[in-house]
Structure 1
Amino acid sequence: MLKWHAQAALLNIYGTGIRARALFDPSLRSREDVSWLLVATLPNSGSTAVSKLLQGSSRSLAVTPSGEGQWLLPAMSAPGKRWEPSRSVDYEQMRRVWLSRVPKGDAPVVVIDKSPSNLVRLAEVAHALSSMPVKLISVTRDPYATVASWAKRYPPARVIRDWRPSLKGQLGTDDAFFEALGNIWGEWAAMLLKLRERADYSTSYETLVAAPADFVTAITGLYPELSDIDPSANVSVKDYEAQPLRNMNDEQIASLTPAQLGAVTKGLAPHEGIVRALGYELRG
């Protein structure tokens, strides 16, 4: 938390300078050479693979190394608060800061952003950028594989700190932890399902890794300038070595014990309609 506060202080200083620059620099308000591709997805659901694959084009980039512009604004990245739909965000400042990170070049570029917690505010983000071309894609993933990945990377203390402070004191057992993760998946997936109604293209992690060339074809239909993406390119995701896209669901789900699978199902059960609408089924 102290690290985040230090980063937030530096970002606020940077943002103050950008706000002042914008008074006389119109390129911080809108750019004719910039388009946006926003990726709506849950954490650990394939968005890094999508972002890295898309950034293989010479005409694409991201405003941060992670592909998540949320980290440039404290209001959008605050631990325990960034997933709050009612969180107050200065979207004009977001646009200014993001544009300040896009270098000026000889050719137009498409900026890829995959900030997971922007799922709760993606309509507002898209509106703030709407003086420029904006496209939205959504990506789903099997809830059990997603939860298995969460459990590996986010222990209970981190889930409480970063995602759900309201769960403090409630995740003391394995069953409680995995049930909570299943419930969180269901709540966020409901937001994703609603966003799919306005998405320019929707797919799943499973479809993407099975046929990356089809995914690239769909994306170049939205932005033809990205036609040099190589669907067979090696992609580095999280702590895995760079490799072509492949389905990692089975090996991640295999890390869950039968009891953990059952707890995830219990957490997902109130959201069964959402699970089915996104193309998945409850297990066990």
Structure 2
Amino acid sequence: MSSFGKNQDRWPSPKFDNNDQPHFLFIITPPYSGSTALAEIINTSHRTMILQPTGEGQWLLPGLCENDRWNPEKDVNYLSVKATWLNAYQQVRRLTQNVDVVIEKSPPNMMRMKQLSSQFRDHSFLANNRDPYANCASRLYRNHDADNLSSDKRKEVLSSIAEDWIMRSYKIKELISTLNAPLLTYEDFCRNPSSVINMLNTPKGVSESIDPDANVKVKDYDSQPVSNQNERQISKLVNGEIEHISELLKSNTELLEYFGYQLLR
């Protein structure tokens, strides 16, 4: 295959109408932090849509979801992103005339959020984060064979995950400031799902059409109302692992406090 053909595979260029653009709502979020439930609640509005089943448009472009997707220096074909996402929206729009908002929540977006959002005429942001201990436990068990890892290996994996949480949380904090993005943590959202309604800066009437009491389907869990899973996740950490994570976090207490979190002992 020619280099042009390979590039087309990575960065498709479907046709789109530049004059037909929705409002893009970008959720700035780390992975495993409740963004699926958040997006599902927002998507209960008849005027919203997601680009693909997980709500992560990165998976529509092979070039965007490669292994280096967290690299802030990644070379991205933004015209391809614009074409692919608008094409997906416009296909739905032809069938459902009242769609006004596209919800986009690919976590690596945060590394290039300014460039990405600038491709679209109308957009807004909502920032999200989750307690680091719960995030570490969730990623440990979702992405690794945690029950079959040695104690040392589990701590090695947790070290990497905790470092990711710190780096990404600093990035989220920066974007909250530079983009004037409202923050709705996982914990606050679970405590009061309806709080999202007043935080959105979307076209008139969209927020009011959201059902905050709807059931959500997250990963392989049964469909259920929004609920805080932090305690259950953290309870999976064993043998000094909470203390290990705390040791990694203790030099970043101001960051923890910014998001409303604290060290556990």
| Structures share fold, TM-score greater than 0.5 | yes
- What CA deviation, in whole Å up to 9, does each residue of 1:39-77 have, x standing for no partner? 001101110011111111111001111100111122320
Q: How many angstroms does 1:242 deviate by?
A: 0.7
Partner of 2:136: 147
Conserved? CA contact 1:139–1:202, under 8 Å = yes
Partner of 1:280: 261
Distance 1:175 1:135, change over 3 A: same
One-letter amino acid of the structure 2 residue matched with residue 95 of structure 1: K
Partner of 1:255: 236
Q: How many residues align?
A: 251
One-letter amino acid of the structure 2 residue matched with residue 252 of structure 1: Q
5 Å matches for 1:59-138?
A: 59-79=47-67, 81-102=68-89, 103-104=92-93, 105-129=96-120, 131=121, 133-138=122-127
- Distance, in Å, in 2 between the alignment partners of 1:177 and 1:50 is 27
Distance 1:252 1:16, change over 3 A: closer
Provide the TM-score with structure 1 as the length reference: 0.82
Conserved? CA contact 2:46–2:99, under 8 Å = no
Q: Determine what percentage of the aligned residue pairs are the same residue.
A: 27
One-letter amino acid of the structure 1 residue matched with residue 167 of structure 2: E
Distance 1:252 1:10, change over 3 A: farther
> Mind listing any 5+ residue stretches in structure 1 that lack a counterpart?
1-8, 158-170
One-letter amino acid of the structure 1 residue matched with residue 69 of structure 2: R
> Mind listing any 5+ residue stretches in structure 2 that lack a counterpart?
none
Q: How many angstroms does 1:213 deviate by?
A: 1.4
Q: How many angstroms does 1:266 deviate by?
A: 2.4
- Distance, in Å, in 1 between the alignment partners of 2:197 and 2:239 is 37
Partner of 2:26: 38
- Distance, in Å, in 2 between the alignment partners of 1:222 and 1:276 is 29
- Distance, in Å, in 2 between the alignment partners of 1:17 and 1:194 is 32
- What CA deviation, in whole Å up to 9, does each residue of 1:160-201 have, x standing for no partner? xxxxxxxxxxx9622222122111110111101111112442
Report the RMSD for the aligned CA atoms in angstroms. 2.3
Provide the TM-score with structure 2 as the length reference: 0.87
Secondary structure of 2:183 counterpart: strand
- Distance, in Å, in 1 between the alignment partners of 2:134 and 2:190 is 14
2:192 to 181, 204, 211: 211
Secondary structure of 1:255 counterpart: coil
One-letter amino acid of the structure 1 residue matched with residue 140 of structure 2: A
